[in-house]
């Protein structure tokens, strides 16, 4: 995940601001993870005038460039449903998309999230919401990141740990919802069949009475 953050950072300010960046670039991420391990992901950035100019020169009106770079930087996830919003007066933008496979099922009802943040500052905001803050320096520029993780409803035993490389990982327990009986699907099929029967009956000739 950190690779994605650096890619976006360098693409925005790396072309003309290297060695001149004084004000840190701020980036906010929000992960809303569901019970299947997928996540609604939101990325937002607040830029200064020079950064905003670089960003608009790079992206312009072709947002597929930004989408393509994000897909390249997150090759292990399947991404879809991209939604982009910008606030030109505030020189900020927000990108929302769906990321599949953010949490990995390691055992029955036991999940693992690998965040790839080395020695981060992790703060629990509630029983199922955690905040990660971290700073990164790259090519003379500074990136300040705030990442908020919303664990799925029903998640238990949430633990923040580190892997062998010192990167942050989260483990938690959560049952996968059962699909249940597809009552609405059955009702829909019945309505379709009923409509088809009525349509056929209307086409049939009416028997004449003597």
Q: Would you state the pLDDT for residue 23?
A: 66
Within a domain: 196 = no
Whether 49 is covered by a domain: the verdict is yes
Contact 116, 1 (CB under 8 A): yes
8 A C-beta contact, residue 41 and residue 97: yes
Residue indicated by tokens 């028997």: 207
Instruction: Supply the DSSP string of 40-84, one letter for each residue.
Output: EEEEEEE--HHHHHHHHHHHTT-THHHHHHHHHH-TTSEEEEEEE
Domain encompassing residue 154: 2-173
Does 169 fall in a domain? yes
Q: Number of C-alpha atoms within 13 angstroms, CB side, residue 51? A: 25
Q: How far, in Å, CA of 168 to CA of 170, rounded? A: 7
Q: Classify residue 52: in a domain, yes or no.
A: yes
Q: Considering the domain boundaries, does residue 41 fall inside one?
A: yes
Question: Please, are residues 172 and 151 in contact by the beta-carbon 8 Å criterion?
Answer: yes
* pTM for the predicted model, two decimal places: 0.73
- Domain contains 192: no
CA atoms within 13 A on the CB side of 65: 11
User: Does 29 map to a domain?
Assistant: yes
Tens of pLDDT along the chain (210 residues)?
A: 544 444 454 445 444 444 454 567 778 889 999 998 999 999 888 888 877 888 888 776 677 877 887 777 777 778 888 888 888 898 888 889 998 888 998 888 899 998 877 777 888 999 999 998 887 766 566 778 888 999 998 899 999 888 877 788 899 999 887 655 455 455 556 666 766 666 666 666 654 444
Counting beta carbons within 10 angstroms of the beta carbon of residue 45, is it exposed (0 to 12), middle (13 to 18) or buried (19 or more)? buried
Are 37 and 77 spatial neighbours (Cβ–Cβ below 8 Å)? Answer: no
Number of domains in the chain: 1
Whether 179 is in a domain gets the answer no
């Amino acid at each position: 995940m950190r690779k994605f953050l650096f890619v976006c950072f360098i693409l925005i300010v790396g072309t003309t601001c290297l060695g001149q960046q004084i004000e840190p670039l701020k980036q906010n991420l929000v992960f809303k993870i569901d019970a299947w391990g997928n996540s609604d992901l939101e990325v937002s950035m607040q830029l200064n005038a020079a950064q905003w100019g670089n960003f608009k020169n790079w992206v312009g009106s072709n947002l597929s460039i930004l989408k393509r770079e994000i897909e390249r930087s997150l090759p292990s996830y399947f991404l879809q449903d991209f939604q982009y919003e910008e606030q030109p007066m505030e020189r900020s933008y927000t990108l929302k998309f769906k990321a599949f496979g953010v949490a990995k099922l390691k055992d029955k009802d036991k999940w693992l999230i690998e965040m790839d943040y080395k020695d981060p500052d992790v703060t629990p905001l509630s029983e199922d919401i955690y905040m990660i803050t971290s700073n990164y320096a790259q090519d003379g520029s500074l990136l300040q990141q705030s990442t908020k993780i919303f664990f799925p409803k029903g998640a238990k035993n949430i633990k923040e740990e580190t892997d062998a490389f010192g990167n942050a990982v989260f483990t938690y327990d959560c049952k996968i919802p059962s699909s249940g009986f597809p009552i609405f699907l059955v009702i829909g099929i019945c309505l379709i069949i009923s409509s088809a029967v009525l349509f056929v009956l209307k086409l049939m000739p009416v028997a004449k009475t003597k």
